[in-house]
Amino acid sequence: MGLKMTREALARFLEEEFPQVAGDFAIDELDENRIRVRLMTQERHLRPGGTVSGPAMFALADVSLYLAILAMIGPEALAVTTNCSMDFMRKPAAGADLIAECRILKLGRVLAVGDVLLYSEGMEAPVARASLTYSIPPAKG
Amino acid sequence: MGLKMTREALARFLEEEFPQVAGDFAIDELDENRIRVRLMTQERHLRPGGTVSGPAMFALADVSLYLAILAMIGPEALAVTTNCSMDFMRKPAAGADLIAECRILKLGRVLAVGDVLLYSEGMEAPVARASLTYSIPPAKG
Amino acid sequence: MGLKMTREALARFLEEEFPQVAGDFAIDELDENRIRVRLMTQERHLRPGGTVSGPAMFALADVSLYLAILAMIGPEALAVTTNCSMDFMRKPAAGADLIAECRILKLGRVLAVGDVLLYSEGMEAPVARASLTYSIPPAKG
Amino acid sequence: MGLKMTREALARFLEEEFPQVAGDFAIDELDENRIRVRLMTQERHLRPGGTVSGPAMFALADVSLYLAILAMIGPEALAVTTNCSMDFMRKPAAGADLIAECRILKLGRVLAVGDVLLYSEGMEAPVARASLTYSIPPAKG
C-alpha cells in the first residue's frame, strides 16, 4: 500500500488535532504498517515510586496504533478505538521514557487491528503488551 | 467476607496514596464486592469535541476495581493490575461525569477479577465495558 | 427493537447451519438482548479430571452471543466473531452442564458487543467470564 | 534459562496427559521462549464452508503457550489458563493446517504471559492473534 503521510506530517497532525497530549509523544520511527512512538515521561505520567501509570501506558499504546493507521490511510479518516486488551508484565523503570513498538496486523475496510510492545528505555524485556482494534468510518464522499 | 474499609476510609486512602489523581474521583456507593465510582470530568480528561478520552476511561475502570478490592482486603495490600480488556461502545456525552459500576467476580488468594460498565451520567446505555485482573501479593508477615 | 426469532426458530437455525455442534447446546431462555444457553456437557468437552475444557467454554460463550444477536436481527445475517476476551476464574464442577448468561451491550450497524458469565450448573460463583465482538456485514440487497 | 524439555518429551507429555486432543497437534519447532505448533486440521475442526472454527483456533493458541511454558519449567507444573484475548482477523483457508507462532513475553514465578499469531499454512497474513496468561501454581514440595 505505501505510506500516505510522512513522520513530519503525522507529528503536525497530532499537534493540530490533539494539542493537549501532542507534547507527550514523539515519533521515533515510521514504516509501512510499523511505528515506534516515545512517551516523554513527565511528572504527570507517574505513580508513587516513579513508575509510569497504567493510563499513561494505555495512552501510548492507543496513540501508537492510531498514528500507524493514519500514516497508511491518510489524515482525513476519523478512526476510533473499539477494543483494547493489555497485559501489564513488569514495573517500568523510574523516570525512563516509554517506547512503543507497534505493528498493524490487519488494515481492513472497516476494522484495523494492531499490537504493541511497551518498553522502558534501556530495559530489554517489555513492560506491557497491548492489542487494539480501530473502527474506520466510511470516507466522506 | 464483609467490608474491611468504609467509603470514607477508602477515599482517605486514595488521597494519601494517589494525591495526583484523587481529586478526579468520588466514591458514590460501596458494598461487598461492588462499588460505584464517579469521574468528575474536567478539561484534562477531554478530547476535541468534549468527549472523555480513552485513557481517562481506562483510569476510571482501573481505580474502581482497585478500590473495590481494597475495601474487601484492607489497605495494606499492594494490588497491581496485570490485565485489562476494554470495549469502547459509544461516545460519552460531552461534559457529563462518567460513572463506573464495578463488581468483583473473583477474589482469590493471588488474583482478583472484576468487570466494569462505564456510563455517561444521564445516558441509559453504557459507553464502555472493561474487565480487569489484579495480582495480590502475599501479605507482609 | 423486539425479537425477530423465537427460541424454536433459533434452535432450528442452529441445527440446519451448524449440524456438527447443534446437539451440544440448548437454549434455556431467550429475551430481548438476553439469552441463557446450556452446554450439555459430554465426554468430548472434558479434560482429565472431568473439568470442562477451555475450548468448550469458548464455544459456549461464542454461540450464546451469536444466537442472542441473530434473535434480534434475524437469520439472514452472517455475523462473525472479531474479538473475544475471557477470564477463567474457577474450575468447573466435574460432569455438570455449563450455563451461559449472555447479554448484548451494544447492537450497532456494523459491530455488536456482548458479555457472558459461565456457570457450572448448581454452583453460585461463575467459572468464567467473556466479552465478545461480532462484526455484522451489510444486509444483502 | 534454557529448555527443560525436548520436542520429543513435550509431544510424549501431551499424548499421556491429553490423549483426547494430542493427535490434533504437532510441534514443528521449539526454542527457548518460542514454539511453533500445527493444528492438523480435520473435519471436526471445521465450520460450514471449510473454515477452521473459533474454538479450534482457541485450542491451538492455548496449547501452544502451554507447551512453550512447560518446555521452560518442566512437566511437573500444573499451569492453568487464566486469561485469553483473541482477535479473529481473516478467514482461514479451507482445508489448510493452522500454524501457531507463539512466544513467551513473561515467565514469572506465578504468572506467565505469551502471545500467538495464527496462520493458515501457505497464507502470508495471520488469520488471528491471541494473548494468554497462565497461572503457575507453587511447585509441590
pLDDT tens digits, B10-27: 999 999 988 888 899 999
Cα of C101 vs its chain's centroid, Å: 8
Grid coordinates in use for A44? 504527570
Query: Rounded CA gap, A66 and A85, in Å?
Result: 15
Rg (CA), chain D: 15
Per-residue model confidence (pLDDT) at position C87: 98
Question: A95 and A103 in contact (C-beta within 8 Å)?
Answer: no
Which residues, in sequence order, are bridge partners of residue D115?
D103, D131
Per run of 10 residues, the mean pLDDT along chain A (length 141 residues) is: 93 90 95 98 84 94 97 88 98 93 96 98 96 85 43
Does D111 lie at the interface with B, CB-CB under 8 angstroms? yes
D85/A contact by beta carbon, under 8 A: yes
Mean pLDDT calculated for residue range B49-68: 94
Main-chain dihedrals φ then ψ at residue B82, nearest 5 degrees? -110, -25
Q: Report d(CA C77, CA C1) in Å as an integer.
A: 16
| HEC assignment per residue over A12-81 | HHHHHHCCCCHHHEEEEEEECCEEEEEECCCHHHECCCCCECHHHHHHHHHHHHHHHHHHHHCCCCCCEE
Three cell numbers at C44?
A: 468430548
Asked if pLDDT for residue D71 goes beyond 90, the answer is: yes
Q: How close is the nearest chain A Cα to the Cα of B53, in Å?
A: 9
HSE of C128, CA atoms in CB hemisphere, 13 A: 32
Q: How many C-beta atoms lie closer than 10 Å to residue C16's C-beta?
A: 11
Residue A94 dihedral angles phi and psi, to the nearest 5°:
-65, 130
Contact A110 C135 (CB under 8 A): yes
CA distance B67 to B29: 11
**What single letter denotes the amino acid at residue D7?**
R
Alpha-carbon gap, residue C86 to D78, rounded angstroms: 20
Does residue B140 belong to any structural domain of this protein? Answer: no
pLDDT at C140 > cutoff 60: no
Inside any domain, residue C103: yes
Tens-place pLDDT, residues C111-124: 999 999 999 999 99
- Residue C110: closest C-alpha in chain B: B89
For residue B58, is it left (φ>0), alpha (ψ between -120 and 50) or beta? alpha
State residue A139's pLDDT score.
63
Side-chain half-sphere exposure of D81, counting CA atoms within 13 A: 30
Which chain C residue's Cα is nearest to B110? C89
* Interface subset of A 18-47, CB within 8 angstroms of B: 18, 20, 44, 46-47
ipTM value: 0.94
- What's the DSSP call for residue A115? E
Is residue C140 in a domain? no
Query: Three-state SS for A98?
Result: strand
How high is the pLDDT of residue A48?
Answer: 75
Percent of chain D scoring above 90 in pLDDT = 80
pLDDT at C141: 43
Q: Quote the cell numbers at residue B117.
A: 460498565
Determine contact, residues D109/B110, Cβ cutoff 8 Å: no
Instruction: State residue B141's pLDDT score.
Output: 43
Which of A140, A36, A48 is CA-nearest to residue A98? A36
Please give the Cα distance from B36 to B30 (Å, whole number). Answer: 6
D82 touches chain B (CB under 8 A): yes
CATH number of C128's domain: 3.10.129.10
Gap between the Cα atoms of C135 and B127, Å rounded: 18
More confident residue, B89 or B46: B89
Residue A33 belongs to domain spanning: 7-135
Output the pLDDT for position A77: 67
B2 inside domain: no
CA distance D74 to chain C (A): 19
CA distance to partner chain D, nearest, from residue C139 (Å):
19
Per-residue pLDDT, C139: 63
Q: What is the C-alpha to C-alpha distance for residues C128 and C51, in angstroms, rounded to an integer?
A: 13
Report the pLDDT averaged over residues C39-59.
89
| Alpha-carbon span A18 to B117, nearest angstrom | 27
| pLDDT tens digits, C125-139 | 999 999 999 999 876
* Rounded Cα gap, residues D113 and A129, in angstroms: 9
The closest of A28, A32, A50 to A41, measured between CA atoms, is A50
Q: Listing from the earlier edge strand, what are the strands of the sheet with A111-120?
A: A25-31, A34-39, A98-107, A111-120, A128-135, A80-88, B80-88, B128-135, B111-120, B98-107, B34-39, B25-31
CA distance C108 to A82: 12
CB C132 within 8 A of CB C81: yes
Query: Is residue D81 within 8 angstroms of chain C, CB to CB?
Result: yes
Give, rounded to a whole angstrom, the gap between the first and last alpha carbons of chain C.
21
pLDDT at position B140, please?
A: 53
Residue D48 placed within a domain: yes
Side chain identity at residue C48, one-letter code: P
d(CA D31, CA D37): 12
3-state secondary structure of C92: coil
Examine residue D57 and state whether it is found in any structural domain, yes or no. yes
Per the CB < 8 A criterion, the answer to whether A105 and D87 are in contact is yes
Residue B71 covered by a domain: yes
What does pLDDT average to over chain B? 93
* Mean pLDDT, rounded, of chain C: 93
CA distances from C50 to B92, C96, D44 (A): 45, 9, 21
Mean pLDDT of B47-68: 92
Question: A122 vs B48, which has greater pLDDT?
Answer: A122
pLDDT at residue A140, rounded to an integer: 53
CA of residue B71 relative to chain centroid, distance: 12
Which chain A residue shows the shortest CA-CA distance from B58? Answer: A55
Does the residue C13 lie in any domain?
A: yes
**Given this model, what pLDDT does residue C95 score?**
84
Could you tell me the CA-to-CA distances from B78 to B23, B37, B61, D107 in Å, in that order?
21, 20, 18, 21
Number of domains in chain A: 1
Check pLDDT > 60 for residue C23: yes
* D88 CB within 8 Å of a chain C CB: yes
Whether residue D17 is predicted with pLDDT greater than 90 in this model: the reply is no
Q: Is the pTM of this model over 0.90?
A: yes
Q: What is the pLDDT of residue C126?
A: 98
In sequence order, the β-bridge partners of residue D108 are none
Percent of chain B with pLDDT over 70: 96
Assess contact for A127 and A111: CB atoms under 8 A: no
Taking CA atoms, C60 is separated from A38, C56, D100, in Å, by: 41, 6, 23
Residue B28's pLDDT band, with cuts at 50, 70 and 90, is: very high
Interface test with C, best of D46, D64, D81 (most C CBs within 10 A): D81
The secondary structure of residue D43, as a DSSP letter, is: G
Mean pLDDT on D43-52: 83
